[in-house]
């Protein structure tokens, strides 16, 4: 498969690929379809009808929220997560506010990237690297079982895990040094990632392997700025994603904001039609939901206007635009994003069929959520 992918990369740069067709679909109005394509972060340990996030859910129909324990802009703890009882009540309030299925997401990878921490009363965790060190996927499956059961019991239905990046650069500040990768071996990563996904599925919790097309070789952090992996990345980094897709158990794929001119000389992966539509969807056969990494990270926000970011991401094949509100805090980001998409559709920059396509994928995935 490695040779096939390398050959495709070379061919696609020369020839490109035909655009994917999508027909319009029946269902709710445009406003609701657009809202379902937005996921945001917010501040608060509880939610009342007067809170901005409640209005975003109720009036703008946003499709998901992401929860954090630490608020980076203000450098304070207790943003959304304080204790198991508080978190369960928060999730219940969010569901009641939405009325229809709402993605309630968290980054609960284990180790350093853990929002539900032991000191707050949640089960202890190990990093993905430490879990895989002994070579037994059963250890990974055991922790994933505990994590999934905990999340499901709290009403959290989406975990942004597992990390499917390869540990090819141990000095990588955002993957290798944080022990977020299972291994540099793609088969090992596949086995352990599949164990995580399977455990979550048993408890009705969705997962999102990340960060496509592979963040493990980077020498920089896309939270902090532009990251070029052109001289470091290789097609082997696609293998865990391809393997998981072939297993048929991928709920979502989360993109990386890395730039790689081998794949696309113009755009970072999140905004790249060549990387997402051509490679991920056509070549690798993935037709599920694609969610962006946080679009407020500096690799994107410092280089592109909001309108450019949204237009490029949607045309590239992103279905859910994530604004975590935890690099910067923009209380009105959901309203601005919805208005921007509406305007782009109205002026023909984004075809209505493209919105329908994302809405169908999102609706299909939400049908699997426990009501």
DSSP alpha helices (H): ranges in 60-136? 84-98, 128-133
Report the distance separating Cα 49 and Cα 53, nearest Å: 9
HEC readout, 261-273: CCCCCCCCHHHCH
Beta-bridged to residue 254, according to DSSP, are 210, 291
Task: Work out whether the CA dihedral 175, 179, 184, 189 comes out positive or negative.
Answer: negative
The closest of 209, 264, 276, 283 to 241, measured between CA atoms, is 209
**Active-site residue, from 107, 223, 264, 319:** 223
CB 359, CB 320: distance < 8 Å: no
302 a catalytic residue: no
223 a catalytic residue: yes
For 194, the enclosing helix (H) or strand (E) is: helix 186-202
73 CB-side CA count, 13 A: 14
CB 128, CB 182: distance < 8 Å: yes
Number of residues that this document lists for the chain:
371
What's the Cα-to-Cα distance from 344 to each of 76, 151, 271, 347, 349, rounded to whole Å?
37, 37, 16, 5, 5
CB 327, CB 298: distance < 8 Å: yes
**Active-site residue, from 293, 294, 319, 356:** 293
3-class DSSP state of 159: strand
Catalytic residues: 223, 293
């Amino acid at each position: 498969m490695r040779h096939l992918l390398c050959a495709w990369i070379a061919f696609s740069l020369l020839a490109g690929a035909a655009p994917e067709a999508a027909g319009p679909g029946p269902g709710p109005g445009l406003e609701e379809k657009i809202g379902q394509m937005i996921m945001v972060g917010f501040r608060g340990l509880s939610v009342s009808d007067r809170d901005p996030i409640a209005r975003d859910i109720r009036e703008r129909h946003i499709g998901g929220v992401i929860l954090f324990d630490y608020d980076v802009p203000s450098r304070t703890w207790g943003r959304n997560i304080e204790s198991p009882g508080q978190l369960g009540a928060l999730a219940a309030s969010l569901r009641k506010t939405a009325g229809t299925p709402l993605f309630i997401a968290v980054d609960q990878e284990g180790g350093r990237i853990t929002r539900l921490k032991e000191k707050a009363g949640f089960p202890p965790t190990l990093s993905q690297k430490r879990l895989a060190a002994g070579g037994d996927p059963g250890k990974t499956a055991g922790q994933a079982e505990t994590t999934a059961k905990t999340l499901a019991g709290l009403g959290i239905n989406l975990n942004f895990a597992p990390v499917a990046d390869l540990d090819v650069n141990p000095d990588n500040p955002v993957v290798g040094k944080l022990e977020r990768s299972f291994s540099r071996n793609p088969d090992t990563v596949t086995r352990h990632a599949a164990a995580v996904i399977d455990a979550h599925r048993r408890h009705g919790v969705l997962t999102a392997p990340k960060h496509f097309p592979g963040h493990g070789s980077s020498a920089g952090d896309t939270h902090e700025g532009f990251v070029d992996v052109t001289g470091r990345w290789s097609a082997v980094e696609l293998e865990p994603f391809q393997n998981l897709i072939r297993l048929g158990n991928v709920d979502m794929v989360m993109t990386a904001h890395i730039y790689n001119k081998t794949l696309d000389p113009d755009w970072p992966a999140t905004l790249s039609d060549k990387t997402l539509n051509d490679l991920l969807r056509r070549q690798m056969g993935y037709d599920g939901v694609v969610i962006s990494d946080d679009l407020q990270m500096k690799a994107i926000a410092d280089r592109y206007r909001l309108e450019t970011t949204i237009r490029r991401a949607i045309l590239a094949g992103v279905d859910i635009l994530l604004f975590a509100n935890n690099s910067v805090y923009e209380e009105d980001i959901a309203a601005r994003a919805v208005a921007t998409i509406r305007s782009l559709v109205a002026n023909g920059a984004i075809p209505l069929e493209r919105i329908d396509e994302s809405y169908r994928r999102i609706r299909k995935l939400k049908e699997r959520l426990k009501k």
